[in-house]
Structure 1
Amino acid sequence: MTAYAVAHMRQARMGPQLVEYLQKIDATLDPFGGRFLVHGGDVEVIENKWPGHLIIIEFPDRQQVRRWYNSAAYQAILTLRTDNSESDVIFVDGVEHPHKATDVLDQT
């Protein structure tokens, strides 16, 4: 099942280290089938507040997300981001299609 690495980057301090992170992250994704779906961009806030940026990276499955995050290549650049930003990061599975909102009731 498709899985996603999702980050809510609430604050980022752009500088040489974050630039280096951005220059190197794509190469860490390739071996695990990762690709950006959302990478910052303008958000239209409809309810409440949304400080910062949204990043969504798609992977073939949860195992590949974990392998990417724990890979030596990604771990080598991780602190370039974490030392220069405040963000929340989660891994989440997608849904099988077709999917209806009521499908979650079967999981309880």
Structure 2
Amino acid sequence: VTYHSACSMQHGQKLTEGPKQLLRDAGFDVREPAEGHLCCGSAGTYNMLQPELASRLQNRKVINLEDTSPDVIATGNIGCLVQISEASNVPVVHTVELLDWASGGPRPENLE
């Protein structure tokens, strides 16, 4: 699992290690991309108001995420999930979906 830390979590709420540790505790091998601090380009309405810049951020983020050779990408923000999914060939799921699956819940749909 390569983890994308959403801007709202890492910069706004200062939550950087907690989600990754939860994934590790659930048994996942967590990888971190280069430039993990950078935005994916979603940023609320940013991708609609600044589509060219958002697209450049999206491409840079996806390259960094895919460079870790993940089976799946996890993020805790639905905007990031959509933004990254649009440009990546790797399945992207919400962190909670993986934690639910690891604790006996259903396999996330896009991993089937």
Task: Give the TM-score taking structure 1 as reference length.
Answer: 0.33
| Larger Rg computed on CA atoms | 1
Q: TM-score, normalised by structure 2?
A: 0.32
Larger fraction in helix: 2
